[in-house]
Amino acid sequence: MNKERKLIVAGNWKMNKTVAEALELVRDLKHELANIKEVDIVVCPPFTALSEVAQVIRGSNIDLGAQNMSEHGPGAYTGEIAAEMLGELAVRYVILGHSERRQYQKESDELISKKAQAAHAASLQPIVCVGETLAEREAGQTEKVLETQVRGSSKGLSKAQAVETIIAYEPVWAIGTGKTATTAQAQEAHAFIRGLLVKLLDEGTARRVRIQYGGSVKPSNARELMSQPDVDGALVGGASLEAKSFAEIIKNSV
Ligand code: PGA
């Protein structure tokens, strides 16, 4: 696939996989995907498996991501994980503001922007998630919601940091539901986000930002979604838990 920006496909394993299961999955992926150079490949295991997965993928074409981090540096924050600690494990990406965290942990755009700044300060690339609920879409508020989330969660980032920030458009109604946005709906939302980035940054910078689509991405729909001009990759949940389906998504996007 000939794309303006290099595709990035990340697997969000969420709260799944023991260390043993994680190692089995990542060993299979390493084998299946050894020849892929055209796509940036990322796996985001739970914190408990990061260290051992890091050792298996060292030197391979698979990068490591975390699913969350603290907005604070090391200190008295019981139960939290600082960006520096992730960096030590060779983590390169971190998912921030996933809709599940926005919903269950009540994460706000302001908090997500603080986390994004802390991630950059530790040389991690944030994957900042945005997306509307079904009620918001049906009320015609999709663009308003996306504008508020993109503006709020990327606040304070320099242009150089913005280029190193990945935005994941994940319509909440498509996550884990089997309902994927149509390619037209995805492209429309991605083009809107890019237009907003042109306003917030500048045309040249906005064209360099990668915007992933997420929400029930599977082998059968990945190619069509990623063939859209403003869809620069995928954030995959359920289908990233098995080597075969995640590898197929990536192979189908090449
Ligand atoms: P899903 O999850 O692929 O299972 O819909 C996507 C996500 O939540 O990142």
- H/E/C letters for each residue in 115-146? HHHHHHHCCCEEEEEECCCHHHHHCCCHHHHH
- Whole-number pLDDT of residue 2: 81
Q: Which atom of ligand 1 is nearest to the CA of 215?
A: 5
Residue holding tokens 């994680």?
Answer: 22
Nearest-CA residue for atom 7 of ligand 1: 237
pLDDT band at 1 (very low <50, low <70, confident <90, very high): confident
Q: Are 206 and 213 in contact (CB under 8 A)?
A: no
C-alpha span between 23 and 55 (Å, rounded): 10
The residue whose CB lies within 8 Å of the most ligand 1 atoms, and thus the one to mutate among 104, 170, 172, 248, is 170
- Mean pLDDT, to the nearest integer, of 20-44? 97
C-alpha span between 92 and 168 (Å, rounded): 16
C-alpha span between 231 and 218 (Å, rounded): 15
Burial 157-186 (b: 16+ CB within 10 A, else e): beeebbbbbbbbbbbbbbbeeeebbebebb
What region, left, alpha or beta, does residue 235 occupy, with left being phi > 0 and alpha being psi -120 to 50 degrees?
Answer: beta
Nearest-CA residue for atom 2 of ligand 1: 237
- Mean pLDDT, to the nearest integer, of 9-31? 98
| Cα angle 137, 143, 148; round to 5 | 110
| Cα angle 92, 98, 103; round to 5 | 150
Q: Which residues line ligand 1 (CB under 6 A)?
A: 12, 170, 175-176, 214-217, 235-239
pLDDT surpassing 90 at residue 124: yes
Catalytic residue set? 98, 170
Distance 75 CA to ligand 1 centre (A): 32
C-alpha span between 120 and 100 (Å, rounded): 22
Residue 68 token pair:
């969350």
- Whole-number pLDDT of residue 145: 98
| 160-214 pLDDT, tens digit each | 999 999 999 999 999 988 888 899 999 999 999 999 999 999 999 999 999 999 9
- Whole-number pLDDT of residue 235: 98
Q: Which atom of ligand 1 is nearest to the CA of 174?
A: 5
Q: Which atom of ligand 1 is nearest to the CA of 235?
A: 9
